[in-house]
C-alpha cells in the first residue's frame, strides 16, 4: 500500500478534501464505483472508476468537473491502485 496527498476539490462531495491523505492498495482490481488512483499524462488523479464497453470513465465528486473519458487506445494512462481509506488531521480546518 502507499499514501497519496489529495490536492484540489474534485472529491469534495465524497468528503475527501484537499490536504487529506488517501490510503491506496495497488493489489486490488478496481470495480465499478471504486475510488482509484490513476496516472494520466504523468499526473496522479483520484477519481471514481467506471468501466464502459469501449472506454473507462473517471468521475469527480463535484458537479463543477466533467468526467475524464479514457479510450482503450490511450497510452498515457494507468490505474495504480484502489483507495481503501482516508486520513485527515484533526488539527486542519476543512472547507
Scanning the structure block, which residue is given the C-alpha cell 473507462? 56
Told to judge if 55 belongs to the known catalytic residues of this protein, a careful annotator would answer no
Would you say 37 and 75 are in contact if contact means Cβ atoms under 8 Å apart?
no
Q: Which of 7, 18, 47, 73 is catalytic?
A: 47
Cα–Cα distance measured from residue 61 to residue 24, given in angstroms and rounded to the nearest whole number: 18
Among the listed residues 66, 67, 2, 61, the one whose alpha carbon sits nearest the alpha carbon of residue 28: 2
Number of CB atoms found within 10 A of residue 20's CB? 19
Q: Which of 1, 5, 7, 10 is catalytic?
A: 10
Told to judge if 7 belongs to the known catalytic residues of this protein, a careful annotator would answer no
Residues recognised as catalytic? 10, 47
Amino acid at each position: 500500500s502507499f499514501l497519496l496527498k489529495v490536492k484540489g476539490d474534485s472529491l469534495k462531495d465524497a468528503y475527501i478534501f484537499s490536504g487529506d491523505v488517501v490510503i491506496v492498495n495497488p493489489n486490488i482490481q478496481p470495480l465499478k464505483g471504486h475510488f482509484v488512483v490513476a496516472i494520466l499524462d504523468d499526473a496522479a488523479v483520484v477519481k471514481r472508476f467506471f468501466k464502459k464497453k469501449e472506454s473507462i470513465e473517471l468521475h469527480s465528486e463535484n458537479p463543477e468537473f466533467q468526467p475524464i473519458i479514457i479510450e482503450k487506445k490511450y497510452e498515457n494512462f494507468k490505474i495504480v491502485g484502489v483507495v481503501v481509506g482516508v486520513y485527515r488531521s484533526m488539527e486542519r480546518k476543512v472547507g
